[in-house]
Amino acid sequence: MNIQNVNVNHLVHAYKIAPWRIQRQWIGSAFGVLVALAMVATIYLDVTSKAAIAGREIQDLTASITISQQVSADLQTEYATLTSSSIMKQRALELGFRPVKSREVEYLVVAGYVEIEPDILSSAPLPQLSALSILPEYNESLLDWADEQIAMSSRELR
C-alpha cells in the first residue's frame, strides 16, 4: 500500500470513530468567523461614533461662533447708540455742561510748540521722471535694439 492511502485511511477511520471532531471543527470555524465579524463591527462602530462626536462638536462650535457674532453686533449697536451726538449732548447737559460761547473761548499760545503732522497725511514729493533722467538702455525700443545689433554684426564682418 501507498503511504498516502494509509494516512487517508487513518484519518477516515479516526473521524468514523469520533464524529464529534468534525462538529468541533465546524463550530470552531464558525466561532472564529463570528469573532472576526464582531471585531470588524466594533471597529466600524468606534470610527462611526468618533466621526459623529466630531461632527456634533463642529456644530456646537459653529453655533457658539454665531451667538458670539450676534452678541458682538448687539454690543456695537449699543455702543454706537450711547456715543451718538444727540445722546452725548443730552448726557453732557445732565452733568451740568453747556455749549461754549465764542466770547468765553480763550486761546493759550505756548512758545516753541510746533504742531506735528502725521506721516500718513503728508505726501512725499514724487520723483520727476524725464527722458534725460532715464538710462538710455530703458529708452530703447525693440526695433532700435535690433537695428543696433545688425549694425554691430555688420561692423564685425568688415
First to last CA, the chain: 109
**32-91 residue pLDDT tens:** 999 999 999 999 999 999 999 999 999 999 999 999 999 999 999 999 999 999 999 999
Using CA atoms, how far residue 1 sits from 4, 7, 13, 14, 16, in Å, is 9, 11, 16, 19, 21
**124-137 residue pLDDT tens:** 666 666 656 677 67
Asked if 14 and 21 touch (Cβ cutoff 8 Å), the reply is yes
Looking at residue 67, its amino acid is: I
CA distance 142 to 150: 12
